């Protein structure tokens, strides 16, 4: 293959996409090696399924490790590099020709971010909103839709609760950008301590300590206690995360800005109903047919003094906001859909509409 790779291979969203990309390359030609420079300097495979799983191709991990071993001896700066990373580290390259895919999420790209983007030979983004924001500042890019990960996520036919409660799932590491606190406060105001409904929050932020996570969760409940709200710990393995996604009936995706929204996307693709904020990356895959859409109501600053700090050279701008009543109306509509049919049949179509093969074809078309 006439390119080299600079990718994170780990359990967070960037790493999950990179691993799926590599699985597709392996599926196509397991005998060819491609120099791989792992971001973070190592391969973290803890999230992935065991290779003893009979449904998986054999020797993928060995192939992956071998690619990283040959990188220093087989790579040439004349060989183009494909990188998946933040704009903040997007300028570093092992090659003269530099291809970058990034998940830019806000609406006010800084001079630093624009400089990085303009110095990339081929800039790829994951949604049309991002493309429009960058193009308004004179930066060209190409949209590459992400893919359903059928190695890690699948529907499980299993009854998780003894009663007929309707379970809502909330995902993603806790952030102001993702609007977790606002979502939870609105949900408990309507459904708190109602045994017909259940809220499971897989929003543990591994970049913060245990006490900080507990304090953030407590703030979401204003010091009150609700028997039907559960905060779950960090799930390292995808098999556990897949089980969690399957345990819900309705996934909540009301983030103010997303590059794609992987947990929500995977959930809908395995047949879960969804309440989705109709903005940014969600719009690439969430439709009126497969989701209950909630329209945004203006924008608010993204700054939280943790991940988004005002005045910095990266991550400046605004996120979309929503009205609490609109969100609850969306929940009510999704509940009716579950009561009619717990399986979101339209959602299953995402598995065939957004394949790893399609994603990799789009990327390779740029690298050739």
Question: Which stretches in the chain have pLDDT values below 50?
Answer: none
Distance, in Å, from the CA atom of 85 to the CA atom of 314, rounded to the nearest integer, reads: 13
Q: Element (H or E) spanning 135, and its range?
A: helix 128-135
What CATH number is given to the structural domain containing 144? 3.40.50
Helix, strand, coil share (%) of the chain residues, nearest 5: 35, 15, 50
What CATH number is given to the structural domain containing 229? 3.40.50.2000
Can you read off the two tokens belonging to residue 238?
């995808």
Distance, in Å, from the CA atom of 319 to the CA atom of 297, rounded to the nearest integer, reads: 11
313, 110 in Cβ contact below 8 A? yes
115-165 pLDDT per residue, tens: 999 999 999 999 999 999 999 999 999 999 999 999 999 999 999 999 999
Q: Quick one: 41 and 69 in the same domain?
A: yes
Q: Quick one: 201 and 129 in the same domain?
A: no
Q: What is the pLDDT of residue 55?
A: 78
Q: What pTM value is reported for the model?
A: 0.95
Residue 156 forms part of a structural domain: no
Distance, in Å, from the CA atom of 188 to the CA atom of 206, rounded to the nearest integer, reads: 25
Q: Quick one: 322 and 281 in the same domain?
A: yes
Q: Quick one: 104 and 201 in the same domain?
A: no
Domain that holds residue 84: 4-148+356-367
Q: Strand 292-294 to strand 299-301: parallel, antiparallel, or no bridges (unpaired)?
A: unpaired
Distance, in Å, from the CA atom of 49 to the CA atom of 305, rounded to the nearest integer, reads: 36
Q: Quick one: 136 and 195 in the same domain?
A: no
1-43 pLDDT per residue, tens: 589 999 999 999 999 999 999 999 999 999 899 999 999 979 9
**Structural domain count of the chain:** 2
Q: Quick one: 140 and 8 in the same domain?
A: yes
Residue 153 forms part of a structural domain: no
Q: What is the pLDDT of residue 1?
A: 57
- Burial class of residue 341 (count of CB atoms within 10 Å of its CB; 0-12, 13-18, 19+): exposed
């Amino acid at each position: 293959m006439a390119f080299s790779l600079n990718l994170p291979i780990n359990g967070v969203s960037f790493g999950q996409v990179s691993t799926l990309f590599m699985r597709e390359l392996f599926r196509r030609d397991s005998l060819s090696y491609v120099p791989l420079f792992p971001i973070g300097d190592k391969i973290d495979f803890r999230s992935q399924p065991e290779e003893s799983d009979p449904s998986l191709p054999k020797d993928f991990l060995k192939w992956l490790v071998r690619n990283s071993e040959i990188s220093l001896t087989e790579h040439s700066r004349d060989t183009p590099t494909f990188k998946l990373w933040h704009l903040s580290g997007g300028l570093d390259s092992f090659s003269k020709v530099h291809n970058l895919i990034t998940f830019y999420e806000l609406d006010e790209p800084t001079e630093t971010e624009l400089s990085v983007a303009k110095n990339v030979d081929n800039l790829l983004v994951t949604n049309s909103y991002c493309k429009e924001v960058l193009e308004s500042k004179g930066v060209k890019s190409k949209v590459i839709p992400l893919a359903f990960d059928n190695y890690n996520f699948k529907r499980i036919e299993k009854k998780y609760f003894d009663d007929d409660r309707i379970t809502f799932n909330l995902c993603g590491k806790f952030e102001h950008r993702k609007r977790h606190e606002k979502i939870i406060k609105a949900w408990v105001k309507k459904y708190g301590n109602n045994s017909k409904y259940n809220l499971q929050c897989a929003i543990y932020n591994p970049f913060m300590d245990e006490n900080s996570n507990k304090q953030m969760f407590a703030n979401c409940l204003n010091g009150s206690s609700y028997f039907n709200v559960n905060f779950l710990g960090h799930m390292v393995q995808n098999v556990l995360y897949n089980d969690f996604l399957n345990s819900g009936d309705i996934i909540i995706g009301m983030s103010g800005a997303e590059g794609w929204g992987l947990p929500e996307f995977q959930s809908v693709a395995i047949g879960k109903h969804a309440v989705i904020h109709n903005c940014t990356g969600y719009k690439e895959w969430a439709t009126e047919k497969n989701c209950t859409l909630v329209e945004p109501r203006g924008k608010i600053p993204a700054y939280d003094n943790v991940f988004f700090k005002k005045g910095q050279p990266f991550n400046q701008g605004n996120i979309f906001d929503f009205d609490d009543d609109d969100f609850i109306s969306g929940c009510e509509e999704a509940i009716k859909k579950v009561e009619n049919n717990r399986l979101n049949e339209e959602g299953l179509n995402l598995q065939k509409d957004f394949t790893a093969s399609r994603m990799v074809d789009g990327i390779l078309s740029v690298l050739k």
